[in-house]
Copies of this chain bind each other. A is one copy, B any other.
Amino acid sequence: MADRESRLEEVSRLSQMLIDIVEEAKADFTRIAAGFDLPVHLARAVLALNRPAPMRELAEQLTCDRSYITNLADQLEERGLVSRVPGEDRRVKLLQLTRSGRSLRDRLSAAVAEDALVLRRLTAADRKTLAPLLEKLLTDEPR
């Protein structure tokens, strides 16, 4: 079957495009974050803090170790972007954006959204076509 070879080629072309798109999107994010003087991992943490969250929870959301969150929290605190506030359970500390942290988060998220590839390069109709295809790619039933 010459069929197999050509299918293989189509598949790797599509996969590579997906990878390239995401790499470009990540590069965009890196650039935008740098514009706010933030390394990527701090920018991600700031965006994740849409409300005060236990450090444990943040670790799950960012899929990293608790000890690493301690690390991030220290850096964010040094910059005056978050503060650690005690939770009801006294083992827990919540990370909470400071006033300046909230302001930064607003500006950052607006910049990210405005810059998004999917807005810059696709029409509304394109996006309407794209969404269900991506959803299909994410449903893990047929395994």
Q: Is there an interface contact between A113 and B143, defined as CB atoms closer than 8 Å?
A: no
Q: How far is the CB of A115 from chain B (nearest CB, A)?
A: 9
A116 an interface residue at 8 Å Cβ cutoff?
yes
Q: Closest CB-CB distance, A110 to chain B, in whole Å?
A: 8
Interface: A7 (CB within 8 A) = yes
For residue A18, CB closer than 8 A to chain B, the reply is: yes
* A42 vs chain B, min Cβ distance (A): 18
- In the complex, how many residues of chain A place their beta carbon closer than 8 angstroms to a beta carbon of chain B? 42
Using an 8 Å CB-CB cutoff, how does the interface string of A1-39 with B read, 1 for contact, 0 for none?
000000110111111011111101110000000000000
Binds B, one of A53-61, A74-82, A86-94, A123-131: A123-131
* From B14, B118, B138, contact of A130 by CB (8 A): B14
